[in-house]
Structure 1
Amino acid sequence: MPSADAAITRQRMEALRLAELALRQGDAAACIAALLALAGEAQDDPRLLQEIASRLAALGRHEDAERCSARALALCPDDPEYLYNHATALIALGRLDEAEAALDAVIAKAPGDGDAWYNRATLRKQTPARNHVDALRAQCEATPVASPMQVPLHYALAKELEDLGEYAAAFAALKQGADARRRGLSYRVEDDVATMRLIADAFDAGFFARKHAGCEDARPLFVVGLPRSGTTLVDRILGSHSRVTSRGESTDLAMALMQCAGPASGKAELVRKSTTLDFRALGERYCAHLSDGGALRQIDKTPLNILYLGIVAAALPQARIVHLRRNPMDACHAMYKTLFRMGYPFSYDLDDLARYWLAYDALMAHWRKLLPTERFLEVDYEDLVANQEAVSRRLVAHAGLDWEDACLQFERNQQASLTASAAQVRQPMYRSSVGLWRRYESELAPLAEALRAAGIDIEDKAVS
């Protein structure tokens, strides 16, 4: 006869499965309710609490996720994994000092955890009096050359050296980490370039000229652009408005597309099928994931929704779109020096970055010609940081909202953030990232040459 403990475990795992099933069926509210109920029953089960926390975080319930991870840590206070997961929850909530202390504890207990070193390095600007450069160098030496942990360790070292103004050493460490990361990926930038061309060919002027019956829900507000281009900053500015909420980065649009399109043999077939969908059903499926909190606008700041703007135009005809642009050298350098957990495999090689950026630029030029101007606003990062109030007012007006002064104090926005900019957006506006690539002009010369050869102006825009 199975033990009572085993029976309880089976019941809880079945409850977790049913919660996930509710989400797959589009009922996020039912999923959240089930997860919270299960968390209440599982206060003695640290592993299950961690599972629940990860799912709650993915659903944007970061405070609930932090409570679950804190309880799991209380049950296993000396476990580096539980410390690390709690630190991640604290970062999302902007509790950065607590997160740094938690990561200090992780590193003390598990010095080989490269991710902990990297995350800690990103939480604040390092100073001559307070940094971890010597410890990082020692840990790099102590870590086997072939270990995957060399990647985050070198990214952490590069970030701290840049903070200290040691730019040549910073780039050398960064390149070592990026090269190791790129060697571990089976990625061909040609595939992404070809896909973007297919998208432009499929969603042509003829597609936009046809009538499409979409979902008339006006809540969606898409903030798009390449990662590290300022999308999180705009998300925080708009999300500071009392009538706006942010859903952060979401796969909901891509998932709605795949569910409505059905099986496809590859990207080319999926692109072809995506032009003849039931766009109203697709829009309704996407909007089923929006919250019922009464916000007039709900931000989806997934950068690579740039691929789906034709679908947005047809399926969500009332949605607003904001596209962030940034000097291509600063944009590519910022991506190159960021260790992304998921996605963006083009960001670890300068040649890949140049080719991807050129394809992205061509696709955005295509959308610029075809998207309705009243729904599509483009903002330059450099203009935003130089003219914060004027550009912020333009963003709020584009969202169809009255101005609120809180939008100028985005650093006070308490909404959670799990992006690579999670620490930066807790600070007031700063301009120090504009033109930063010039510190690495010789190292980034191959990128500059590739962009110039394609006719791209890489000169820094004037900042008044």
Structure 2
Amino acid sequence: MPVDPPKSSIEQIIADLNKKDLYHLAYGRLLEAIEEDPGNENLPILLGDTCLGLNDFNEANRLYSKALEKQPDQQRVLSRMPRVLLGTGDKEGAIEAGKRLIKLVPAARKNVSAISLADTYERLNEIELAKATIDEVVTDGDEEKAMVEYVMARVLIQEKKYEEAVQRFKQYIEMRDSFEYEKALSPSAEAWFMICKAYDRMGEYDLAWEAAEHAHRDFQGWDGRKMLQDLDEMRSFMTRPVIEGIAQADKEYPWAPLFIVGMPRSGTTLLEQILSMHPSVSNGGEMATPSKMTLDLPRITNSLLPWPKSMIDMRARDANKLGDIYMKAVAYFAGDSTIASNKSLMLQIQLGFLSRVMPNSRAIMLYRHPLDNAVSCHTTPILLVGHRYTTDLSTFGKIWVARRKLQEHWIEHLDIPIMELHYESLVQNQDEETRRIIDFLDVEWEPGCLDFHKSTNVARTISSDQVNKKMYSTSDGRWRNYEKYLGPVIDEVGEYL
């Protein structure tokens, strides 16, 4: 088996940042490193890893595919392709990538690759194929046995055998905690979140919350003051006179950006899946490109000011150049559509900037009841993709309010068309709200938007449970099952209750 070359210092720094889920920081460092060392072929792969951590599956796919064109048998890159292709909605591609990896890896790693393929089948709800693939695996060593335990526990969740699933997840955690385990092979925190899910579905809400607390145990102490400062600074700085004084792009773009702006677990994936049924709309997922644009801004404008004040030095030609960067990313997935959606969780802080760079854009402000939002964020593994503020409920409440106030600020101050949408209304009044969305986009009515669960664009995010089924409202008011734990959130979000 070929030995990986030693990492350069910047590669080691980026790898360490990614392991700590500091993907946005890693993203900025990588862009600088690639500019300084464009011949380093490992850096774009690391950028793909970072985009994967940011859930920007389209950009990760582009970067990995480019690397595979140069060297088709890169096992490290191939091992990530099933997850990437799941994220882009390419079901068949994800399965084929898993099968290809099994053929390429040495005999010592074939079991691991086969178990990973079974995991892909499970995430696609292909339960019988997942079990059949596992049945063919003869485990050799603790790592493989733990992986099998984890996949089979997930299968049991799918089969609604929740008590058995809990036992197998706990067995997995015992095995996992007995030896060093690569993060990519699912840490015990993710298993605790799955136990939480099982208990929740059994109606054992105290046990579910206890499991969630286990998952958060190793992530205490995150300081949210910098995030709150950034949100408040943006709202204070971007007054209407300042916004009107920032140069605006003056060129035509081939696609109209649609920004879906909301908190995690607020329904952004559901909304994007509904829109995926319309032929005029292409889904960009959580595009990281705007973060690249904000990092490129000082270089393009020659500004000495830090973000966000560097926007003041932007000229129309700079805005055009930044818009071209965004459109280049859109071109990779948009095809013949006229509207390209983006549901990045950074949009709340970036929307003012993007409205000047792409004045043909629109935005949908998506809201969810703060306590339902808090429960959903605290009991699902978004913690593991960088959302550390979900561990402390008081911090979550403060950040929820700051982000909501920034959304309200944009509605008052921006000139682009903005629609407000409540998750609860969308699930309770599907037909009416879907028609309102389509009217807002100024496109023809498409009946298929009501059958979003039939989309071939199989959503594979943490939110995929709802979007791959018919509309349901059982998550509306779920917070009442956990009310006794929510005091710290209630204290912060009271004005929105």
TM-score range, shorter chain: 0.7 to 0.9
1:160 Cα deviation from its structure 2 partner: 0.6
Answer yes or no: is 1:50 the counterpart of 2:92.
Answer: no
Q: 1:232 to 1:125 in 2, by over 3 A?
A: farther
Q: What CA RMSD, in Å, does the superposition of the two structures yield over aligned residues?
A: 3.9
Taking every aligned residue pair, what percent have the same amino acid on both sides?
22
Q: Which residue of 2 aligns with 1:285?
A: 325
Deviations 1:143-175 (A, max 9, x none): 549988432222121111111111111111111
State the Cα distance separating 1:113 from its structure 2 match.
4.8
Structure with greater proportional helix content: 2
**Structure 1 position 97 matched with structure 2 position 127:** yes
User: Comparing 428-437 with 246-255, which one deviates more in the overlay?
Assistant: 246-255
Query: Is 1:337 matched up with 2:372?
Result: no
* CA separation of 1:451 and 1:133: change in aligned 2, threshold 3 A: same
Q: Distance in 1 between matches of 2:442 and 2:199?
A: 43
Q: In the alignment, what sits opposite 1:369?
A: 412
Once the two structures are TM-superposed, the CA of residue 310 in structure 1 deviates from its matched residue by: 0.3
1:110 and 2:144 are equivalent in the alignment: yes
Matching residue within 453, 470, 479 for 1:428 = 470
SS in 1 for 2:421: strand
- Distance in 1 separating the partners of 2:257 and 2:389: 28
Go from structure 1 to structure 2 and tell me whether the alpha carbon gap of 1:312 and 1:160 turns closer, same or farther (over 3 Å shift): same
- What corresponds to 2:117 in structure 1? 86
Counterpart of 1:258 in structure 2 is 295
The alignment's TM-score, normalised by the length of structure 1, stands at 0.80
Letter in 1 for 2:127: D
- 1:156 is paired with a residue of what secondary structure? helix
User: TM-score, with normalisation over the residues of structure 2?
Assistant: 0.75
Q: Which of 159, 162, 170 is the matching residue for 1:137?
A: 170
Q: Does the 8 Å contact 1:103/1:120 carry over to 2?
A: no
Distance 2:285 2:158 in 1: 22
Structure 1 residues 290 and 114, CA gap change in structure 2 (3 angstroms): same
Q: Is the 8 A contact 2:261 2:348 kept in 1?
A: yes
Which piece of structure 1 moves more, 302-311 or 416-425?
416-425
- Residue 418 of structure 1 deviates from its aligned partner by 3.2
What amino acid is the match of 1:188? Answer: D
Give the Cα–Cα distance (whole angstroms) in 1 for the partners of residues 399 and 156 of structure 2: 26
Alignment of 1:300 with 2:337, yes or no, is no
> Any stretches of 5+ residues in structure 2 without a counterpart?
4-38, 52-57, 182-186
The one-letter code sitting in structure 1 at the alignment partner of 2:397 is A
Aligned twin of 1:199: 234
Distance 1:140 1:256, change over 3 A: same
Alpha-carbon distance change, 124 to 262 in structure 1, aligned in 2, over 3 angstroms? farther
Paired with 1:160 and 1:53, the residues of 2 have a C-alpha distance of: 25
Structure 1 window deviating more from structure 2 (26-35 vs 211-220): it is: 26-35
Pairs aligned (count): 431
Question: Which residue pairs with 1:270 in the alignment?
Answer: 307
Q: Does the CA-based 8 Å contact 1:231-1:303 persist in structure 2?
A: no
Q: Residue 370 and residue 83 in structure 1: after superposition, are their counterparts in 2 closer, same or farther (change >3 A)? A: farther
Aligned equivalents of 1:34, 1:143: Cα separation in 2: 34
Task: State the 1:68 CA deviation.
Answer: 2.4
Report the CA distance shift for 1:53/1:135 in structure 2 as closer, same or farther (over 3 A).
closer
Structure 1 contact 103–116 (Cα < 8 Å) conserved: no
In the alignment, what sits opposite 2:444?
402
Query: Which of 482, 485, 488 pairs up with 1:440?
Result: 482
Instruction: Give 1:51 shift.
Output: 5.6
Deviations 1:190-243 (A, max 9, x none): 110000011112221112323633154242111120010000010011111012
1:457 and 2:488 aligned: no
Please tell me whether the aligned partners of residues 100 and 123 of structure 1 are also in contact (alpha carbons under 8 angstroms). Answer: no
Q: 1:446 Cα shift?
A: 2.5
Alpha-carbon offset, residue 406 of structure 1: 0.4
Separation in 2 of the partners of 1:147 and 1:17? 25
Q: Which residue is 1:208 aligned to?
A: 243
Deviations along 1:352-402, one digit per CA (max 9) or x if unpaired, are 211111211221121121123x61111000000010011011111112211
Question: For the structure 1 residues 290 and 139, does the alpha-carbon distance in structure 2 shift closer, same or farther, using more than 3 Å as the test?
Answer: closer
Change (3 A) 1:15 1:194: closer
CA distance in 2, matches of 1:122, 1:206: 57
The one of 197, 209, 217 aligned to 1:159: 197
8 Å CA contact 1:127–1:164 kept in 2: the answer is no
Q: How many Å apart are 1:102 and its aligned residue?
A: 8.1
SS in 2 for 1:298: strand
Letter in 2 for 1:359: A
Q: Secondary structure of the residue that 1:132 maps to in structure 2?
A: helix
Label 1:311 to 1:451 Cα distance change in 2 as closer, same or farther (>3 A): same
Q: Map of 1:59-70 to 2, 5 A cutoff? A: 63-70=92-99
User: Residues 87, 205 of structure 1: CA spacing in aligned structure 2 closer, same or farther, 3 A cutoff?
Assistant: farther
- SS at 1:250's partner residue? coil
2:277 and 2:179 map into 1 onto residues whose CA distance is 45
| 1:409–1:131 distance in 2 versus 1, CA, 3 Å | farther
Aligned mates of 2:486, 2:178 — CA distance in 1: 25
Q: Residues 86 and 258 (structure 1 numbering): CA distance in 2 closer, same or farther, change over 3 Å?
A: farther
Deviations 1:292-323 (A, max 9, x none): 51101111121221110101110010011112
Does the CA contact (< 8 Å) of 2:68 and 2:77 recur in 1? Answer: no
Q: Distance in 1 between matches of 2:469 and 2:437?
A: 20
Please report how far the alpha carbon of residue 59 of structure 1 lies from its aligned counterpart in structure 2 after TM superposition: 7.4
Shift in Å, 1:69: 2.5
Q: String of CA shifts for 1:42-90, please: whole Å, max 9, x gaps.
A: 3xx6445336667767877665454223211244586454245435655
User: 2: distance between equivalents of 1:287 and 1:257?
Assistant: 15
- 1:146 and 1:19 map into 2 onto residues whose CA distance is 31
Structure 1: 5+ residue runs without aligned partners? Answer: 7-13, 459-464
